[in-house]
Amino acid sequence: MNIRLAQKKDIAQLIQMRWDFTIEHNEKAADHDLEEFQMECRQFLERAIESNSWVIWIAEINEQVVSHIYMELIHKVPRPGRITHPFVYMTNVYTIPAERNKGIGSNLLTVVNKWVESNEYEFVIVWPSDDSIEFYKRKGYISCNEAMTFTPSIKS
């Protein structure tokens, strides 16, 4: 297994994995236009891979991407008297079904956590599914209740 940062050559696999991940958790999503999704996702991934705001970690076996973790760096407003480090929003954590429960996701998250520590990011925030809470706890993540959200009403 090889753990590395995603590259443009991985985009087609990452698009398919995002589609599969979504369908796995919401079968109705399969009713959406695959080509339209592929185009939108490709544009996002091309920008993300070239940017300094997104980091996409992958685990691959025989050049097949089998797991990934997307990280967005959130830069904070500086505060007097302390060095301001970004924090990290972790999302789209996924391992293909055939490779689950083999330690791949755990190994990938270990590498990500070391990367976070070595870059002195302030913290990582992730919204785990109910099924993944224990996975994150085993890697040192703790629950917090401090965040609040606002969801604007969407007018059709």
Which residues, other chains included, contact 59 with Cβ-Cβ below 8 Å and sequence gap of 6+? Answer: 1, 2, 3, 65, 66, 67, 68, 95, 104, 105, 107, 108
Looking at residue 155, its pLDDT comes to 65
Residue 155 belongs to a domain? no
Rounded alpha-carbon distances, angstroms, from residue 77 to 52, 54, 82, 86, 118: 17, 18, 11, 9, 21
Looking at residue 83, its pLDDT comes to 87
Confidence of residue 89 (pLDDT cuts 50, 70, 90): very high
Looking at residue 122, its pLDDT comes to 93
Rounded alpha-carbon distances, angstroms, from residue 152 to 3, 89, 135, 149, 155: 38, 21, 32, 10, 9
| Greater pLDDT, 156 or 20 | 20
The share of the chain scoring above pLDDT 90, in percent, equals 78
CATH at 16? 3.40.630.30
For residue 13 the two structure tokens come to: 């696999």
Looking at residue 25, its pLDDT comes to 77
Residue 45 belongs to a domain? yes
Residue 65 belongs to a domain? yes
- Domain of 32 in residue numbering reads as 2-138
User: What does the mean pLDDT of the chain come to?
Assistant: 92
Residue 151 belongs to a domain? no
Model pTM? 0.89
Residue 55 belongs to a domain? yes
Check whether 156 has a pLDDT greater than 60: no
Number of domains in the chain: 1
Mean pLDDT lowest among 3-12, 25-34, 60-69: 25-34
For residue 61 the two structure tokens come to: 């076996």
Residue 145 belongs to a domain? no
Confidence of residue 32 (pLDDT cuts 50, 70, 90): confident
pLDDT digits (tens, 9 = 90+) for 95-121: 999 999 999 999 999 999 999 999 999
